[in-house]
Amino acid sequence: MKNMSYVDSVLNTVIARNPGEPVFHQAVTEVLDSLRPVVENNPVYQQEGLLERLVEPERVIMFRVPWLDRNGKVQVNRGFRVQYNSAIGPYKGGLRFRENVNLGIIKFLGFEQCFKNSLTGLPMGGGKGGSDFDPAGKTDHEVMSFCQSFMNELYKYIGPDIDVPAGDIGVGAREIGYLYGQYKKITGRYEGVLTGKGLTFGGSMGRKQATGYGLVYFVREMLAGVGNSLEGKKVVISGSGNVAIYAAEKAMQYGATVLAMSDSNGAVYDPEGIDLALVKEIKEVKRGRMKEYCDVKKSAQYMEGKNVWSVPCDVALPCATQNELNEDDAKTLLKNGVIAVAEGANMPSTPGAIAAFQSAGILYAPGKATNAGGVATSGLEMSQNSLRLAWSFEEVDKRLEDIMVGIYNNAYNTAKELGMENNFVVGANVYGFKKIADAMLAQGLV
């Protein structure tokens, strides 16, 4: 015990202090493990309790959310906002509405968000929030009633220079609209307090597409780095939500064929290539299930209760949720010849899966680098709101593309300097960490 390293002692504290939060332990372990080469050899990063402060959220807010369902019955959910780190800017990060949401999930997402936001190069700290409320199967009025009650408490803690929430799983344009309306009603202020707003009330062009498009810009760079491209590639994407749909759209624009997509009930394999207009109609317009795809498209096969990883592909893009791709799935993908895996979701690959990809030597890039285009474009929405301007789609998309190329280069170069070329886990974590750490040290013990 006497010779325990600084990183190990902080990890032990995190595990002891946060019982029953395995995904939070997983996220912190992945980051701290990859910081070893810079922290253990550099006394600067061992001073002032830096890592102890980095892993502890600045503030955790939990609150009751009572609302009336369609039968006039009272429902009570639990709301969360974790304001993780404000060293480099106001807290920024999404809200997740899903039945399984708990404090450990929000803390893991908030922790990841700090590094991701740092990687974008924009002045945004990290935060995350949400509720164990699930919009699926609810009426619009139920969702509105819930969102209004959620905001009745959340408004006290947010603001354009304090904390700026956005969407995540279960929170899209509809939910952001209701949340924004209630914030304005309570405070009387018309300001950039949320991102992902509708285009008629301060939203940014391109925000809807940003996470998926950004992911594919990163993949393009990663493949170009080894002299390859997306042209003619077979791509498999999990999920069929906001991130998955726009990742598919951009991959197709680059000449790839998307063979499979999924939702939490099952996967669809279409050997003719996924018909994205049909997926959009089912998921964005009807709020339906992927199973319905096969009612229309007879070439497609529905795999009830299965994920997409058994479908042979060149590029795999997990875009649904945490730990959705395990070691067995990774081995299946490798056996089928996958050359690149890039994460649209947050922490979708289990540690065993990541180890399998890395030891096979294929290209693997973690969510905090590859899905940063969403929050980056949220940052651009904040800029436009402050400027009281609205940029064109082309202007926003070009800035997004530049930011993603920058993230790729910074992660690549950082890993290379550490002698770990193409290790994007180390590259992203170390690059994201340094900016936050330097700001925290400069600002003293706060």
**How open is the CA angle 408-412-416, to the nearest 5 degrees?**
175
Nearest residue to ligand NDP, using CB?
Answer: 241
Of 118, 152, 346, 414, which lies in the binding site for ligand NDP, with binding defined by CB under 6 A?
346
Helix, strand, or coil (residue 85)? strand
**Cβ closer to ligand 2IT: 198 or 271?**
198
* CB distance 246 to 234 below 8 Å: no
Q: Which of residues 358-387 bind ligand 2IT (CB under 6 A)?
A: 374-375, 378
Q: List the one residue out of 250, 252, 210, 257 whose CA is nearest residue 375.
A: 210
Residue 231: burial class (beta carbons within 10 Å; 0-12, 13-18, 19+): exposed
Taking the complex as a whole, the smallest distance from the CB of residue 421 to ligand 2IT amounts, in Å, to: 27
Determine the length of the chain: 446
Q: Which does 384 bind (CB under 5 to 8 A by kind): ligand NDP, ligand 2IT, none?
A: none
Give yes or no for residue 175 binding ligand NDP (CB under 6 A): no
Residues annotated catalytic, as ranges: 128
Give yes or no for residue 346 binding ligand 2IT (CB under 6 A): yes
Give yes or no for residue 92 binding ligand 2IT (CB under 6 A): yes
Of 122, 169, 194, 356, which lies in the binding site for ligand NDP, with binding defined by CB under 6 A?
169
- Sign of dihedral through CA atoms 335, 336, 339, 343? negative
Of 211, 326, 349, 370, which lies in the binding site for ligand NDP, with binding defined by CB under 6 A?
211
Taking the complex as a whole, the smallest distance from the CB of residue 135 to ligand NDP amounts, in Å, to: 9
Secondary structure E strands in 167-322: 234-238, 257-263, 266-269, 301-304, 315-318
Cα 85 from Cα 127, distance rounded (Å): 7
The answer for residues whose C-beta is within 8 angstroms of residue 106's C-beta and 6 or more apart is 80, 81, 82, 96, 128, 129, 130
Q: Which of residues 104-123 bind ligand 2IT (CB under 6 A)?
A: 113, 116
Q: Which does 170 bind (CB under 5 to 8 A by kind): ligand 2IT, ligand NDP, none?
A: ligand NDP
Q: List the one residue out of 90, 95, 120, 98 whose CA is nearest residue 109.
A: 95
Task: Tell me which residues touch ligand 2IT (CB under 6 A).
Answer: 92-94, 113, 116, 166, 168, 195, 346, 374-375, 378
User: Residues in the site for ligand NDP, rule: CB under 6 A?
Assistant: 167-170, 172, 211, 239-244, 263-265, 319-321, 324, 344-346, 371, 374
